[in-house]
């Protein structure tokens, strides 16, 4: 069960139905491929499981990727910590930091590791640089590359061409699927299958979200996107996630919203600014600003209903310390903190909604991630921008290449 409750007034469907029509047009056009991954990635699950079959010696999967090639996988690894069917460890190298590189490399040995070099364009300089560092660190001979590396990229990209040159297995991302919308493509499905996560259930959850929106015409998502995009005062959306398991998801949410919705429109600058918090910890830092600071924020609460595995607070009493939480589960305490904070913000007349997951499993994670991809697409349509490009990022990449050329010449 996935439930989204909106604590603000709904708009008449006649006001927002045009946006539903436009996203249907986008779906039917075939130009935006992530919509269809719930179906097309089924064959990829079988291909991934077939490839890894019989490779019991592999104990470590190391994904090397940046941005859209890593954020979603990190989110699912964190959320599905309790749902694995083998003992393979999933490591993620997603920064050109010597500290991060050495911290992961020292935990693995070459003979029981497989590296997933992931780049949609096949030319991400950070990914290619880390690929070369791995080769040099382990002194891997070219003739053995196929044993230790798998490439995930677009068809006909530079990385694809190199895979053919080196004899390395390649899994493909559809050309019409953007990087930050690629979690249900080979970017996510391949490492999840290799590490024993339930990729089929993930796709089924995403498919349920697709059907709720496009087939059953549930309008909570449409109402939410329109309210947040047309809010007179608030252009900051705060995601307040109540569990440490959502840490990676929060990072993915920030990348998805920021890179998709921060755009120029002529001389006008448009966007929703994402902020991601973890409850209840961040109630003791950022909450004060939301409560009493400028009312320029909308707030989404994210919580998990199931608490069957939660620890219970013991019935220990002290003379000077309160006993309010005695015999209460930690999970129930966490959700009570979520509800209390939510109602305090509603009382301040802030725009609030809450997402409730029945439990944290692959199905609900698939639904949640597809929900936010749809939310982002809807917001892009409502803001009148191109949701799927990132011209500001491309400028930085060009400057980096010029700087590196200068370093070489120097």
- Which residues have a catalytic role annotated? 259, 284, 397
HSE of 232, CA atoms in CB hemisphere, 13 A: 0
- How far from the centroid of its chain's Cα atoms is residue 200's Cα? 18
Parallel, antiparallel or unpaired: strands 113-118 and 149-154: parallel
First-last CA distance in the chain: 59
Radius of gyration of the chain (CA): 22
Please name which of 122, 60, 129 lies closest in space to residue 94, comparing C-alpha atoms: 129
The beta strands (E) that lie in 324-396 are given as 352-357
Please name which of 350, 339, 135, 105 lies closest in space to residue 242, comparing C-alpha atoms: 339
| Number of C-beta neighbours around residue 42 at 10 A | 15
Cα–Cα distances in Å, from 351 out to 166, 178, 297?
54, 30, 8
Alpha-carbon gap, residue 361 to 399, rounded angstroms: 42
Q: What angle do CA 5, 6, 12 make, to 5 degrees?
A: 125
Alpha-carbon gap, residue 103 to 141, rounded angstroms: 23
- DSSP class of residue 312 equals B
Could you give phi then psi for residue 129, rounded to 5 degrees? -65, -45
**Per-residue buried b or exposed e for 290-312, using 16+ beta carbons within 10 Å of the residue's own CB:** beeeeeebbbbbbbbeebeebee
Alpha-carbon gap, residue 268 to 255, rounded angstroms: 22
- Residue 172: which H helix or E strand, with range? strand 169-173
- Residue 149: which H helix or E strand, with range? strand 149-154
- Residue 18: which H helix or E strand, with range? helix 13-29
DSSP 3-state of 277: strand
Q: What angle do CA 310, 314, 320 make, to 5 degrees?
A: 130
């Amino acid at each position: 069960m996935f439930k989204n409750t909106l604590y603000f007034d709904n708009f008449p469907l006649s006001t927002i139905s045009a946006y539903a029509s436009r996203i249907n047009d986008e779906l039917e056009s075939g130009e935006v491929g992530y919509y269809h991954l719930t179906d097309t990635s089924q064959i990829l699950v079988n291909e991934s499981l077939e490839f890894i079959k019989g490779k019991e010696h592999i104990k470590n999967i190391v994904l090397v990727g940046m941005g859209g090639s890593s954020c979603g996988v990190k989110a699912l690894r964190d959320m599905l910590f309790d749902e694995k069917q083998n003992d393979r460890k999933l490591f993620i190298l997603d920064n050109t930091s010597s500290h991060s590189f050495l911290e992961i490399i020292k935990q693995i040995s070459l003979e029981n590791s497989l590296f997933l070099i992931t780049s949609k364009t096949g030319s991400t300089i950070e990914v290619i640089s880390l690929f070369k560092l791995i080769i040099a660190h382990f002194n891997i001979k070219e003739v053995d590359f196929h044993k230790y590396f798998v490439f995930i990229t677009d068809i006909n990209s530079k990385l694809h061409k190199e895979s053919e040159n080196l004899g390395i297995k390649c899994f493909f991302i559809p050309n019409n699927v953007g990087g930050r919308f690629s979690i249900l493509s080979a970017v996510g499905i391949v490492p999840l299958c290799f590490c024993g996560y339930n990729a089929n259930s993930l796709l089924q959850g995403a498919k349920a979200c697709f059907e709720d929106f496009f087939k059953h015409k549930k309008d909570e998502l449409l109402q939410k996107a329109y309210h947040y995009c047309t809010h007179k005062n608030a252009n900051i959306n705060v995601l307040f996630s109540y569990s440490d398991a959502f840490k990676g998801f929060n990072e993915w949410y920030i990348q998805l919203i920021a890179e998709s919705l921060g755009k120029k429109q002529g001389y006008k600058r448009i966007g929703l600014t994402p902020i991601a918090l973890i409850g209840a910890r961040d109630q003791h830092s950022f909450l004060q600003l939301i409560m009493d600071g400028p009312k320029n924020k909308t707030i989404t609460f994210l919580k998990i209903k199931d608490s069957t595995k939660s620890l219970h607070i013991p019935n220990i009493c002290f003379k000077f310390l309160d006993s309010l939480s005695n015999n209460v589960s930690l999970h129930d305490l966490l959700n009570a903190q979520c509800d209390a904070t939510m109602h305090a913000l509603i009382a301040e007349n802030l725009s609030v909604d809450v997402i409730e997951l029945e439990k944290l499993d692959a199905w609900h994670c698939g639904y949640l991630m597809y929900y936010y991809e749809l939310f982002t697409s809807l917001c892009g349509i409502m803001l009148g921008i191109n949701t799927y490009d990132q011209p500001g990022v491309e400028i930085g990449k060009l400057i980096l290449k010029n700087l590196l050329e200068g370093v070489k010449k120097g």
